[in-house]
């Protein structure tokens, strides 16, 4: 496992970087069983839509190695987190491939397909970086530098490699462009700390802010563009992402700041007509710490397609209302 890896095969098991310990500690966890994989996803040791998908795919192989029935494996993993569609996309892909395989072939076939899912995620995100770079280059050409705001963590930690929303930023930094990132804290789980940690590892200039500072910074003209990731994009372009994304999109719209979503095509749910149909995960009250009061903790929100300037995919930048062009 290299320093910038979230997931890797090791001696027949899977090893993951435990994100619940970051940024305090860099700790790895060995996943040997289906239960280990399901726990890693549910407890958010791994998180971020593409990485959840890849972990679930490897979880299928671990479950088959234990001799568990395929239906039970798929049902266990599908129940871990509801919003990120990459989970269901990866499980459906594993089901299709495995149901066609002879029983004796299923285990090697499962490893092979999980590896393909991981490899394709890496490649898709690198392509997202290249397409998104053009957006940042255009701003640098006009202004000499670019200040990007993001939300949550949609960097390499949330994927197999490169990240989605952060991929264009890494590409810009590598190309020598003057790029700065506003990193919002992302209450209650503080995924912004993961983003700040990631950017610091790569020496990308960034500034950490409270979530509620985003509107003021846009009003003051300190944000040139917003780029966020996605957990599920409906066929009409409405996008579920970490709670707080919608408020940033509203502020961006009010201040005429372009607002992009960066995601692989595997995050588009063509079977889901609009954002109202996307299931929103409700997480535990304990994420707020000790509170003796009723709590609501929706983990995602929906940004309507009309607030999105474009969706940066591995196949190029597409208008949010033209996603059907990408349908496989």
Q: Which residues are at the interface with ligand MRU (CB under 6 A)?
A: 47-50, 84, 152, 154, 158-159, 164, 191, 229-231, 241-242, 299
The C-alpha R_g of the chain, in whole angstroms, comes to: 19
Q: How far apart are CA 158 and CA 136, in angstroms?
A: 21
Q: Which is nearer to ligand MRU, 110 or 310 (CB)?
A: 310
Q: Nearest distance from residue 267's CB to ligand MRU, in Å?
A: 7
Q: Which residue, 246, 263, 226, is CA-closest to 298? A: 246
Q: Nearest distance from residue 144's CB to ligand MRU, in Å?
A: 29
Helix (H) or strand (E) holding 55: helix 49-65
282, 213 in Cβ contact below 8 A? no
Q: How many CB atoms lie within 10 A of CB 10?
A: 11
Q: Nearest distance from residue 186's CB to ligand MRU, in Å?
A: 8
Please identify every residue annotated as catalytic.
Answer: 231
Q: How far apart are CA 179 and CA 186, in angstroms?
A: 21
By beta-carbon distance, which residue lies closest to ligand MRU? 229
Q: Nearest distance from residue 126's CB to ligand MRU, in Å?
A: 13
Q: Which is nearer to ligand MRU, 70 or 326 (CB)?
A: 326
Beta strands in the chain (DSSP E): 7-10, 13-17, 28-31, 146-150, 179-184, 206-209, 225-228, 232-234, 239-242, 259-262, 268-269, 300-303, 310-313, 316-318
Beta strands in 159-291 (DSSP E): 179-184, 206-209, 225-228, 232-234, 239-242, 259-262, 268-269
Q: Nearest distance from residue 230's CB to ligand MRU, in Å?
A: 6
Residue 104, C-beta contacts closer than 8 angstroms, at least 6 positions apart: none
Q: Which is nearer to ligand MRU, 55 or 191 (CB)?
A: 191
Q: How far apart are CA 237 and CA 310, in angstroms?
A: 9
């Amino acid at each position: 496992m290299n320093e910038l890896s979230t997931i890797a095969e090791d001696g027949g098991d899977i090893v993951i970087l435990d994100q619940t310990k970051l940024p305090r500690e860099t700790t790895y966890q060995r996943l040997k069983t289906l239960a280990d994989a399901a726990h890693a996803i549910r407890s958010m040791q791994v998180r971020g839509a593409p990485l959840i998908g890849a972990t679930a795919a490897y979880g299928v192989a671990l479950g088959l190695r234990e001799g568990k029935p395929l239906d039970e494996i798929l049902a266990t993993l599908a129940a871990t987190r509801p919003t990120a569609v990459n989970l269901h996309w990866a499980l459906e892909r594993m089901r299709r491939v495995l149901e066609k395989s002879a029983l004796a072939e299923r285990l090697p076939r499962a490893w092979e397909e999980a590896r393909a899912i991981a490899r394709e995620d890496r490649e898709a995100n690198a392509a997202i970086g290249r397409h998104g770079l053009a957006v940042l280059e255009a701003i640098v050409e006009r202004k000499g530098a670019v200040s990007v705001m993001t939300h949550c963590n949609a960097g390499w930690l949330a994927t197999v490699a490169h990240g989605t929303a952060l991929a264009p930023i890494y590409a810009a930094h590598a190309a020598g462009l003057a790029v700065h990132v506003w990193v919002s804290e992302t209450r209650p789980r503080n995924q912004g700390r993961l983003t700040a940690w990631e950017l610091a590892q790569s020496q990308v200039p960034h500034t950490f802010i409270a979530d509620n500072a985003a509107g003021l910074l846009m009003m003051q003209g300190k944000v040139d563009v917003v780029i966020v990731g996605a957990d599920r994009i409906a066929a009409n372009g409405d996008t579920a992402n970490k709670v707080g994304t919608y408020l940033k999109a509203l502020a961006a719209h009010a201040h005429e700041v372009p607002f992009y979503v960066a995601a692989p095509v595997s995050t588009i749910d063509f079977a889901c007509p609009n954002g109202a149909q996307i299931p929103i995960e409700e997480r535990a009250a304990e994420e707020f710490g000790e509170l003796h009061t009723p709590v609501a903790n929706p983990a995602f929100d929906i940004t309507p397609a009309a607030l999105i300037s474009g969706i940066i995919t591995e196949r190029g930048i597409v208008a949010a209302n033209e996603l059907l062009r990408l349908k496989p």
